[in-house]
Structure 1
């Protein structure tokens, strides 16, 4: 109910802001459609253009609001609100995803909390956007879920003047799910503001986020024959037996962010520009696992048999100072130094036969680095280097990028990166009331090192082709210690670092063929992992193909888009899911995959409203009940879901 109430308040607030704006004499009634013209404003024209509704990323890349209906919008109409190619969702909305694709490119120099299965919907600092709009702007997102719930995302932004903008947003989800004890309840609150002085010498942006991600956990289905035989008695999935019905995990995080810059010499004033900048972040997180009674036949022996509560906490403070210089000869230069303070801790101390397991990792880290970028004709070059100089969390990052516009249609880009970073904190230290889940490895584990080389050839006419090759040393992962024959239903995950080298190749192609009103959009990825032991597993082939029809109907009052999407990935040893850690672990007991996923959709656009209707996995009863997202966790059955995205302006 709190989700619905909060979204209702945002809707009421946005409608009030819309109604308070006075209309000028002689203005047409259809102000929304007139304010969303795709053409730039003509001299003397006071009505805003669509390009005036600016969206500014963390890196200050600027795009504008897009209310069109495209196949990319269809791919992004989901819980994460981004294209989830390479992610395999679990049965309920708001649960985790199994990663079919690995991405080792990162901008973070330091380890994070862990509990990575809980972070797919967690918005980091570089996920937050800022805005500049000529009129109050609202985005409302709605989609049905899996039984007794809804997914709502309400957002409003407005400029009180040309120099100051603020936005407020909240995404709330509640979904009961089809299986026993699998409820999801999440909330993502965001508040942003940005300001520029009249002389444009000082600019500032801030945000605050408060996020909570709660999932009931059941350990998966305990009698797989109930699912795989297709017995009509168990097509009501709530009747199926699960391992336990008394556990849940929860991730809560709050973040305060400030980024401001003062120009001693601002752009356009002289031949060069010169400024000082400061970025500040303070974030608190905790991950908690709760269980009424210990499931010793699943997680192993416990120190107590009831009221299990494991809680990991992390507090971080980050300050970065930078001196920024730029001119037409040398390009843009940034010299930066940062101070990172961290405190990862538990509130208990554990005495074992091997000694004491500490309850805290705490320290201060100092890093220095620089950034450079320059455009020379059709060539764009950039580089970013950062090295940790003081502290226990050894790390360094180098990213180099280059792009070349071959002609008006072809663009070639490439990158090289070297990342050395300590594993996440839950690899280094963890404490639990389950005996198997206690370890301290901060002195034993070294820096994970990843070297990547890749590039993309992109054509507006023919699509894109992307390839990358990575080598990973000290690859850090969770592995399964339970004996497959004697303990087939147990999950006993432990952290490890691989002593060998993992080589990872991936090639992705994307294109679209058009035949009048019909189009075929294809996304295909090939992956190959070179390793002496099966420590990192991915499917060799992933494909997504969409055949769809688009046309204006009802005298162009509606734009209609309908089609079929086919998804497939080859069999592989998919990672298993551990709900106690909120992590995936490497397993070699069974393979999943090799089953088709077919969706049918009908989408429509009426002015600034996009309406979505989809029959998901409608082939589920035709191809056999062998579809899993992870061992013991079935993929979604056939379901019809619908929703909309509504944008309106003043």
Structure 2
């Protein structure tokens, strides 16, 4: 209900503003409106003069989006094939991810990127984090006039997906934005409802002399999923054979219908910087500033079940309803000293503190062994950054190391860009990382006796080399090679378990080096109004223990037609997208941990997915209509997102993205 009220409020606010513009005001309101118009005009003229030079009218390029890394782009209302790929629940290209049947569930990863610059363990329940917005996912804005964006897309059965966004500059120096993405989807199978919400509030400010700037955000998130453990083994044959009776997916029996998990999080984040010595003109060579970052996050993961399911999870301490809940509180502070010189480049030295408190509100005694309930402490670290640009060459460097505390960790990163010409650029990077395993690998407690452990694993060490070639005329090519030592993973452990008895899932650490190669090609070919967009990924792993499993080939190919219609009043885009990945030992999913685990018994994949879409753009409105997986009935019912978890059947979905510039 709170989500619906917020969405309606944003829509009502826009309509109310529009109504004030369109309706003729009464005589008593004319003077007040003139004063307000004068104030708005003054703000807009200042913003426009700063962003557009001599332009008298705001352009689309004046509506700026500022990323966490301070890269600046502007609002894009065009309709492209890349927009088609991003029109989904995550609102980003999900190539390399295999979605489950219901919107808002998890994704099985078809590829992995081992680039890392974190010095602390990550929170567990990684399968719930695909839609969890981290600090790096939050953008800031600067706009000459108020901007609203409304996004809507149909879900599965009852429910819908909506994302509402509004931003305004009250002065040229101060911006606010507020946004909320909400989803509710019942799903086609039993006990598979999803209900998620992501609320964001941001602000950024800078003084007129630009010596001080600050930006901050507040994010609250709750991601709830009912869990059913997938189809029962006896139902797999009925699904794969396409038995007519079971085409109504709600009839298929699932492993349980009494469980749900939820990931919640709150974060308050502030970054600010003050220039002690600023560049007053282009001839100044030095700049010195101090910066500070403070970030407070509070996360929790909870699993509820009305009664234990011994056949799926094993025995429990109690057979009636129970709740497993784990929390993490983390306070992060960083002090920075920044120095810039025209010759040397940009240098930063920083000192950071991580105060963490992870754990449970109980102590478990299992087989005479006491499992503690807390990982708590403070980690101090230090690091630096470097950046230098010389003509067509740009160099970035970053490093960090933990100097005290219970967690060891370090990373070093180097990144070089060389622009050969206006079309062709080459990028090379190297990354080394040593980081403690995730918190839920180190400590876990549950009502189920098999899900209780306190591990003492080594740091996972990764080394990655990346080379990229970017060219619109030739292609975008990426090659990366990674070596991974002491890789941690989950897997069923049959050691000491009698035949035909339940095999529990436990965390493990690989004692062999994994070599992992990826080659990715992205190329679009255009002939007149037709285009053929291709994304092809090749992967190869050298892993004696078979714990990092990925498909050898993954491909997405789209053939589409684009044209203006009705005297260019509408822009139309229609085509077919083909998705495919080769068979491999796909990871299985554990709903209690909200984690994927390694299985090597069966291979999955090798099925095509065909989507037909018709998209249109009318002014600032983009309309999306898609027939998803329309080939499901005639290419075989062998499509799974994970063992016992089918992918989606054929369905037709509709959506819209609508921008308002006031």
Using the size of structure 1 for normalisation, the TM-score is 0.95
Alignment partner of 1:243: what SS? Answer: coil
1:307 aligns with 2:321: yes
Residue number among 635, 642, 651 corresponding to 1:639 in the alignment: 651
Distance 1:146 1:629 in 2: 16
Partner of 1:264: 276
Partner of 1:556: 568
Q: CA deviation at 1:407?
A: 1.3
Partner of 2:504: 492
Distance 1:109 1:404 in 2: 29
Alignment partner of 2:171: what SS? Answer: coil
Query: Structure 1 590/147 Cα, relative in aligned 2: closer, same or farther at 3 Å?
Result: same
Q: CA deviation at 1:157?
A: 0.2
Q: CA deviation at 1:246?
A: 0.1
CA contact (8 A) 1:491 1:578 kept: no
Distance 1:169 1:627 in 2: 35
1:398 aligns with 2:428: no
Partner of 1:379: 393
Residue number among 251, 262, 267 corresponding to 2:263 in the alignment: 251
CA contact (8 A) 1:504 1:527 kept: yes
1:518 aligns with 2:530: yes
Partner of 2:26: none
Query: Structure 1 17/199 Cα, relative in aligned 2: closer, same or farther at 3 Å?
Result: farther
Tell me the C-alpha RMSD between the 2 structures: 2.1
Q: CA deviation at 1:440?
A: 0.1
Partner of 1:15: 15
Q: CA deviation at 1:45?
A: 2.8
Q: CA deviation at 1:484?
A: 14
Q: How does 1:69-468 map to 2 (within 5 A)?
A: 69-222=79-232, 223-269=235-281, 270-441=284-455, 444-468=456-480
1:64-97 Cα offsets, whole Å, 9 max, x none, are 0000000000000000000000000000000000
CA contact (8 A) 1:109 1:397 kept: yes
Runs of 4+ in 1 over 6 A off after TM superposition: 21-25, 483-489
Query: Structure 1 45/377 Cα, relative in aligned 2: closer, same or farther at 3 Å?
Result: closer
Partner of 2:481: 469
Using the size of structure 2 for normalisation, the TM-score is 0.94
CA contact (8 A) 1:297 1:489 kept: no
Distance 1:384 1:488 in 2: 52
Alignment partner of 1:427: what SS? Answer: helix
1:126-163 Cα offsets, whole Å, 9 max, x none, are 11000000000011110000010000000000000000
Q: CA deviation at 1:351?
A: 1.1
CA contact (8 A) 1:41 1:49 kept: no
Residue number among 520, 526, 539 corresponding to 1:527 in the alignment: 539
Alignment partner of 1:155: what SS? Answer: strand
Q: CA deviation at 1:488?
A: 7.7
Q: CA deviation at 1:533?
A: 1.1
Query: Structure 1 121/255 Cα, relative in aligned 2: closer, same or farther at 3 Å?
Result: same
Residue number among 546, 549, 556 corresponding to 2:558 in the alignment: 546
The count of aligned residue pairs is 638
CA contact (8 A) 2:227 2:591 kept: yes
Query: Structure 1 596/485 Cα, relative in aligned 2: closer, same or farther at 3 Å?
Result: farther
Distance 1:456 1:488 in 2: 50
1:47-67 Cα offsets, whole Å, 9 max, x none, are 111111000011111010000
Alignment partner of 1:180: what SS? Answer: coil
1:587-612 Cα offsets, whole Å, 9 max, x none, are 01211100000000000000000000
1:339-380 Cα offsets, whole Å, 9 max, x none, are 100000101101122521000000100000100000011100
Partner of 1:480: 492
Distance 1:594 1:24 in 2: 65
Distance 1:128 1:550 in 2: 32
CA contact (8 A) 1:3 1:173 kept: no
1:277-314 Cα offsets, whole Å, 9 max, x none, are 00000000000000001000100011100112111110
1:489-525 Cα offsets, whole Å, 9 max, x none, are 9673110110110110000000000110000000000
CA contact (8 A) 2:366 2:449 kept: no
Q: CA deviation at 1:24?
A: 9.0
Distance 1:204 1:20 in 2: 33
CA contact (8 A) 2:51 2:62 kept: no
CA contact (8 A) 1:529 1:537 kept: yes
Partner of 1:600: 612
Q: CA deviation at 1:226?
A: 1.9
Q: Mark the runs of 5 or more structure 1 residues left unpaired by the alignment.
A: none
